[in-house]
């Protein structure tokens, strides 16, 4: 709990209020932008797919954490797995930022709580983004291949 309070002290309570207000306003905008469309999709959603969706999300987050864990270990960052998981999950808080640049918060947390230089942690976050791009590109090629489009179209769009 002290570490969480340390984060609040670093950013200030106003920062957390701004983040919460921004999330609420963004949610309100999304809901009211086309409320009837959202309502129709929610009403007709087949709940039998919900467990599969949640399991898929959990497994993907687990894979991403394993990648984060391996990258931090290779960089010589030795912190407890539980604390490393909390640092990893903290990146989700600002993941909606452009190019997920908000995940640089992980670097700040590692610096403030574990005195790990940002020069060791920022490259890990950039490598994560690079791997995300490679994964997206691979999924796009596989998907478009099965849909029957040519590789030239894929390369042009990417």
pLDDT in tens, 5-63: 455 455 556 766 777 777 788 777 777 777 778 788 889 989 999 999 999 999 999 99
Digit-coded pLDDT (tens) for 51-110: 999 999 999 999 999 999 999 999 999 999 999 999 999 888 877 777 777 788 899 999
Half-sphere exposure of 95 (CA within 13 A, CB side): 10
Same domain, 34 and 63: no
Give the predicted TM-score (pTM) of the model. Answer: 0.69
Kindly state the helix (H) or strand (E) to which residue 102 belongs, with its residue range: none
Task: Quote the CA–CA distance of 31 and 8 in Å, as a whole number.
Answer: 29
The verdict on 82 and 140 lying in the same domain is yes
Q: Are residues 31 and 105 in the same domain?
A: no
Can you give the residue range of the structural domain that contains 102? 56-157
Domain count, the chain: 2
- 100 and 140 part of one domain: yes
């Amino acid at each position: 709990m002290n570490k969480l309070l340390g984060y609040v002290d670093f950013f200030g309570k106003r920062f957390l209020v701004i983040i919460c207000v921004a999330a609420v306003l963004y949610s309100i905008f999304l809901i009211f932008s086309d409320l009837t469309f959202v309502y129709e999709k929610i009403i007709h959603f087949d709940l039998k797919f919900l467990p599969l969706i949640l399991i898929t999300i959990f497994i993907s987050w687990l894979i991403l954490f394993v990648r984060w864990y391996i990258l931090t270990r290779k960089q010589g960052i030795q912190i407890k797995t539980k604390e490393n998981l909390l640092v990893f999950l903290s990146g989700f808080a600002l993941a909606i930022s452009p190019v997920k640049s908000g995940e640089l918060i992980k670097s700040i947390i590692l610096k403030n709580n574990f005195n790990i230089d940002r020069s060791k942690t920022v490259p890990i976050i950039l490598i994560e983004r690079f791997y995300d791009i490679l994964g997206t590109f691979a999924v796009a090629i596989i998907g478009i291949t099965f849909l029957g489009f040519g590789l030239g179209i894929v390369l042009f769009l990417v």
